């Protein structure tokens, strides 16, 4: 019994180290640092390999910037953390921890700080909804959806229209956390960027986002949201979730809504070019399949999905069916398998 107690303590010790190191690695960007000199001034870039595009150099900033130097130190930490990570995993394996137990982990601090800050401002009670890949991560943690690696640190939020909540200064909240406002003239939106971490974007539904509504949000929330097609599928059927590590409950779309939205946007969403965006399309189908698999296990969720699909407008129902058929064109293991596509088609046949 004493030995079992010691082993349990050792496992917990290494598990804590594993969680911390994994969280740290999720934030440290992959790639190699490049220093370029132009007109006697030095500038830093992060070189990363992008599928279908080859190597891409992302501008970090001037060598003279303290923030840039902090980022460089952070990026250089990756190699040491990877070595540390391997050592911790080896120790846990020796203590009997199985491979699958390494996968389902919690949330990095930046995510917790972000959603808690929005909670403190009361935004979760006033129409804000977590969407995108971080929403899927919540499903994994809260609802037992099968794990799939999170490969982006971009944080996406939807906002119901009309916005009827109180005033809040989202611009100030994000800047205090270290994000920098970045104007995207091409899409007439403002993104909030933290170099090496990710982007915060807030979306409203294209069909409801009148200029008047956008101006109201800009005045009340100090934020100009981006417009997105089919967003109402997500934000009109919210679910409240209370998670460990979160001070307040957050709001996510119901899993049936998420399943429908992922299928529609996989084929018909913005920026889903079959050639250039095949990874994003495959990710959409994979997440739809894993959420669909969990829905199938729960009779109430199956019934809800069936009702929601029947209530869709004819054009959306047609797009849903077309997307389900197109999923087979993107099979590529391990990201999307034949079993995944079979699950999608089984759910559409309910």
Structure confidence by residue, pLDDT tens digits, 204-254: 999 888 888 888 888 899 988 888 999 999 999 999 988 766 777 899 999
The H-assigned helical ranges of the chain are 2-27, 66-94, 109-120, 132-143, 170-176, 211-221, 232-235, 255-268, 278-296, 299-311, 314-326, 338-348
Domain boundary among the residues 203, 237, 253 is at 253
- Tell me which residue has tokens 């007109």: 39
286 and 338 housed in the same domain: yes
Examine the fold and report which residue of 102, 121, 148 is the final residue of a domain before the chain moves on: 102
The CB-side HSE value for 334 (13 A sphere, CA atoms) comes to 3
**CA distance linking residue 310 with residue 23, whole number of Å:** 41
Same domain, residue pair 316 and 334: yes
Structure pTM? Answer: 0.70
Q: To the nearest 10°, report the CA torsion of 229, 234, 236, 237.
A: 160
Of the candidates 240, 272, 266, the residue with the CA atom closest to the CA atom of residue 253? 240
- CB 135 within 8 Å of CB 155: no
* pLDDT of res. 2: 39
Asked if residue 122 and residue 45 are part of one domain, the reply reads no
Contact 179, 194 (CB under 8 A): yes
H helix or E strand, kind and range, residue 208:
none
For residues 83 and 110, state if they share a domain. Answer: no
Q: Are residue 239 and residue 113 in the same domain, yes or no?
A: yes
Q: Do residues 83 and 72 lie in contact, with contact meaning Cβ atoms separated by under 8 Å?
A: no
Q: Which of 253, 275, 308 is the last residue of a domain?
A: 253
Cα 179 to Cα 24, 94, 173, distances in angstroms: 18, 41, 9
pLDDT of residue 286: 92
Domain total for the chain?
3
Q: Are residues 287 and 228 in the same domain?
A: no
Residues 6+ apart with CB under 8 A from 24: 77, 81, 108
Helix (H) or strand (E) holding 237: none
Contact 156, 129 (CB under 8 A): no
Looking at the structure, do residues 141 and 199 belong to the same domain, yes or no?
A: yes
DSSP character string of 155-194: EEEEE-SS--S----HHHHHHHTT-EEEEETTTTEEEEEE
Say yes or no: 234 and 133 in one domain: yes
Asked if residue 82 and residue 59 are part of one domain, the reply reads yes
The two tokens of residue 178 are: 């270290």
Instruction: Please indicate, yes or no, whether residues 59 and 79 belong to a single structural domain of this protein.
Output: yes
How far is 155 from 153, CA to CA, in rounded Å? 6
pLDDT in tens, the chain (350 residues): 435 445 556 777 777 777 667 656 765 767 888 899 988 888 888 887 766 667 877 777 788 887 778 778 878 888 888 888 888 888 888 877 666 455 445 567 788 888 989 999 999 988 999 998 889 988 887 888 887 766 566 899 999 988 888 889 999 999 888 888 887 655 566 788 877 677 899 999 998 888 888 888 888 999 888 889 999 999 999 999 887 667 778 999 999 999 999 999 999 987 676 665 787 888 899 999 999 999 999 999 999 999 999 999 999 999 999 999 999 999 886 678 899 999 999 999 98
Indicate if 211 and 268 belong to the same structural domain. no
Determine the Cα–Cα distance for residues 168 and 223; give it in Å rounded to an integer: 9
Q: Which domain holds residue 312?
A: 254-350
> Residue for token digits 């491979």?
99
Structure tokens, 102: 């390494």
- In this structure, the answer to whether residues 143 and 40 fall within a common structural domain is no
């Amino acid at each position: 019994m004493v030995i079992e107690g010691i082993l349990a303590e050792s496992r917990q010790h290494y598990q804590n180290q594993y969680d911390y190191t994994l969280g740290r690695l999720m934030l440290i960007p992959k790639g190699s640092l490049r220093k370029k000199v132009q007109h006697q001034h030095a500038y830093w870039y992060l070189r990363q390999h992008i599928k279908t595009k080859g190597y891409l150099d992302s501008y970090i900033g001037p060598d003279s910037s303290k923030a840039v130097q902090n980022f460089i130190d952070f990026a250089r930490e990756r190699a040491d953390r990877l070595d540390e990570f391997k050592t911790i995993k080896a120790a846990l394996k020796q203590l009997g921890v199985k491979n699958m137990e390494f996968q389902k982990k919690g949330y990095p601090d930046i995510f917790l700080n972000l959603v808690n800050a929005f909670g403190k401002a009361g935004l979760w009670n006033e129409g804000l909804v977590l969407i995108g890949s971080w929403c899927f991560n919540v499903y994994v943690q809260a609802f037992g959806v099968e794990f799939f690696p999170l490969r982006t640190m971009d944080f996406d939020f939807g906002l119901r229209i009309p916005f009827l909540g109180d005033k809040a200064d989202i611009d100030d909240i994000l800047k205090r956390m270290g994000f920098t406002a970045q104007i995207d003239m091409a899409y007439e939106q403002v993104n909030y960027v933290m170099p090496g971490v990710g982007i915060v974007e807030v979306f409203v539904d294209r069909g409801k986002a009148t200029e008047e509504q956008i101006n109201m949000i800009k005045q009340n929330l100090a934020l100009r949201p981006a417009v997105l097609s089919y967003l109402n599928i997500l934000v009109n059927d919210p679910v409240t979730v209370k998670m460990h590590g979160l001070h307040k409950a957050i709001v996510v779309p119901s899993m049936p809504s998420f399943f429908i939205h992922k299928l529609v946007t996989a084929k018909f969403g913005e920026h889903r070019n079959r050639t250039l965006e095949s990874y994003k399309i495959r990710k959409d189908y994979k997440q739809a399949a894993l959420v669909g698999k969990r829905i199938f296990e729960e009779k109430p969720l199956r019934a809800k999905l069936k009702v929601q699909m029947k209530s869709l407008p004819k054009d959306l129902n047609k797009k849903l069916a077309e997307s389900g058929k197109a999923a087979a064109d993107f099979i590529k293991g391990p990201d999307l398998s034949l079993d995944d596509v079979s699950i999608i088609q089984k759910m559409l046949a309910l």
